[in-house]
Amino acid sequence: MPLIAQPQSMHFPEALALASGAVLRGYDLAYETYGALNADKSNAVLVCHALNASHHVAGSYAGQPRSEGWWDNMIGPGKSVDTDRFFVIGINNPGSCFGSTGPMHVNPDTGRVYGADFPVLTVEDWVNAQALLLDRLGIAQLAAVMGGSLGGMQALSWTLQYPDRARHAVVVASAPNLTAENIAFNEVARRAIVTDPDVHGGHYYQHGVVPKRGLRIARMIGHITYLSDDVMNAKFGRSLKAPTLPAAHGSLPPEGADPARGGPAPDLREYLYSTQDVEFQIESYLRYQGDKFSDYFDANTYLLITRALDYFDPARQHGGNLAQALAVARARFLLVSFTTDWRFAPARSREMVHALLENRRDVSYAEIDAPHGHDAFLLDDARYMSVVRSYFDGIAKELQ
């Protein structure tokens, strides 16, 4: 039976104190739940989202085909995270543009839309907000908290902020902080948005415009860092954009094409010799991704979420010593990384594994040989799905 998702929302009248010293007052959190909470409320799994996702983690909305949640391949009845056994909660973080209170909502203190005045949030702030939602749901302790990428940072942070509230943490394709290069890519994306003449200092809603140029560039940069060089070569190589006439070259080569350098066989049509028209398929793909994103994503949210990524660094207050920072953790851990992920490379997961082992934590670690780069954490990969399934099978056994 297909899983039907139903978005819910909860209002929090109390002020949420933030790391910056600011507070967030009178906010709503959007969330979804799948499966049933058991009698002793011990089977809850919290799923944290990354930059471009939401509380809609699994299932589809009634009457809306192709509305699958972003981790629907992982989570659902009989899936790796089995909603027949677990009560799974997807939550949308404050500052997002997908339902929870964010920059396009009204600031109760001023009666005006927040825009650029929305307070800057950290991973720790999000975890605090998530904990308050669990309080209201009556869940004292999670069976597991899980997430990929920025979601993995939240899962890790849960084990540090609330060591006794998550028995397991599943941290996929993540890192204990951003490298200078990671921050650099975020900064270029932010500059593209902030220098877009339509941004109006972040108060563009009042001007009836959206800094789409900047959002497009931000998304194009992001997309490059989500994919591996090899998968880009295999998918697009140096192929030219499909001509308007139907032709053998008209469709993308299938995934799994020879991923050797140079990718698909060369395209012998003549170049257009243009600096502004689309010449190569990779250009067409990136422009499409940028256009699509700029139609639905909020620019202020992009700024906020990339900053939360930049700031996350639990070792910072411990002189850079990650093992010391993780000493408070009590959870058991599954970490997963992907060989071709150069955004959050396997070495970054191994740093966390080593720091946890130094603290004699119980850690499982899988380095999945996958060609898809950082995006692999969202894709179907038999070994990846099977590693997560086995781990959750183990958690399910503890429930019996």
Using CB under 8 A as the binding rule, whether residue 383 contacts its own copies is answered as no
Least distance between its own copies and beta carbon 71 (Å): 26
Active site residue 374: yes
Do the strands 166-172 and 332-338 form a parallel or antiparallel pair, or are they unpaired?
parallel
Options 263, 309, 335, 341; binder of its own copies; rule CB under 8 A: 263
Using CB under 8 A as the binding rule, whether residue 243 contacts its own copies is answered as no
Residue 255 near residue 235, CB atoms below 8 Å: yes
Using CB under 8 A as the binding rule, whether residue 232 contacts its own copies is answered as yes
Please say which residue, 59 or 237, places its beta carbon nearer to its own copies: 237
Least distance between its own copies and beta carbon 137 (Å): 29
Q: Using CB under 8 A, which residues numbered 13 to 42 contact its own copies?
A: 19-22
Task: For residues 152 and 173, give the distance between their C-alpha atoms in angstroms, rounded to a whole number.
Answer: 7
Match 């991923």 to its residue by tokens. 259
Exactly one of 54, 100, 149, 239 is catalytic; name it: 149
| SS3 track for 240-260 | ECCCCCCCHHHCCCCCCCCCC
Using CB under 8 A as the binding rule, whether residue 288 contacts its own copies is answered as no
The size of the interface with its own copies (CB under 8 A), counted in residues, is: 74
Per DSSP, the three-state class of 53 is: coil
Please say which residue, 316 or 383, places its beta carbon nearer to its own copies: 316
Task: For residues 277 and 268, give the distance between their C-alpha atoms in angstroms, rounded to a whole number.
Answer: 18
Exactly one of 125, 298, 313, 341 is catalytic; name it: 341
Alpha helices in the chain (DSSP H): 123-137, 150-161, 180-194, 212-226, 229-235, 281-296, 299-311, 322-325, 346-358, 382-399
Using CB under 8 A as the binding rule, whether residue 167 contacts its own copies is answered as no
| SS3 track for 176-226 | CCCCHHHHHHHHHHHHHHHCCHHHHHHCHHHHCCCCHHHHHHHHHHHHHHH
Residue 315 near residue 176, CB atoms below 8 Å: yes
Least distance between its own copies and beta carbon 209 (Å): 12
Task: For residues 180 and 61, give the distance between their C-alpha atoms in angstroms, rounded to a whole number.
Answer: 40
Q: Residue 4: which region, alpha, beta or left (left: phi > 0; alpha: psi -120 to 50)?
A: beta
Please say which residue, 36 or 347, places its beta carbon nearer to its own copies: 347
Options 90, 290, 346, 371; binder of its own copies; rule CB under 8 A: 290
Least distance between its own copies and beta carbon 161 (Å): 17
Please say which residue, 317 or 386, places its beta carbon nearer to its own copies: 317
Options 130, 233, 337, 340; binder of its own copies; rule CB under 8 A: 233
Task: For residues 92 and 114, give the distance between their C-alpha atoms in angstroms, rounded to a whole number.
Answer: 18
Q: How far is CA 30 from the centre of its chain?
A: 16
Please say which residue, 11 or 191, places its beta carbon nearer to its own copies: 191
Using CB under 8 A as the binding rule, whether residue 4 contacts its own copies is answered as no
Options 41, 287, 354, 389; binder of its own copies; rule CB under 8 A: 287
Using CB under 8 A as the binding rule, whether residue 269 contacts its own copies is answered as no
Q: Using CB under 8 A, which residues numbered 168 to 227 contact its own copies?
A: 177-181, 183-185, 187-188, 190-192, 194-197, 202, 213, 216-217, 220-221, 223-224, 227
Options 153, 286, 326, 378; binder of its own copies; rule CB under 8 A: 286
Active site residue 341: yes
Largest CA distance in the chain: 68
Task: For residues 377 and 373, give the distance between their C-alpha atoms in angstroms, rounded to a whole number.
Answer: 9
Least distance between its own copies and beta carbon 141 (Å): 31
Q: Using CB under 8 A, which residues numbered 339 to 378 contact its own copies?
A: 347-348, 351
Binding track, positions 294-333, relative to its own copies; x by CB under 8 A? ------x--xx-xx--xx-x-xxx-xx-------------
Please say which residue, 351 or 381, places its beta carbon nearer to its own copies: 351
Compute the chain's Rg from CA coordinates.
22
DSSP 324: H
Options 229, 358, 367, 381; binder of its own copies; rule CB under 8 A: 229
Least distance between its own copies and beta carbon 216 (Å): 7
Using CB under 8 A as the binding rule, whether residue 386 contacts its own copies is answered as no
Amino acid letter, 207: H
Task: For residues 289 and 282, give the distance between their C-alpha atoms in angstroms, rounded to a whole number.
Answer: 11
Active-site residue numbers? 149, 341, 374
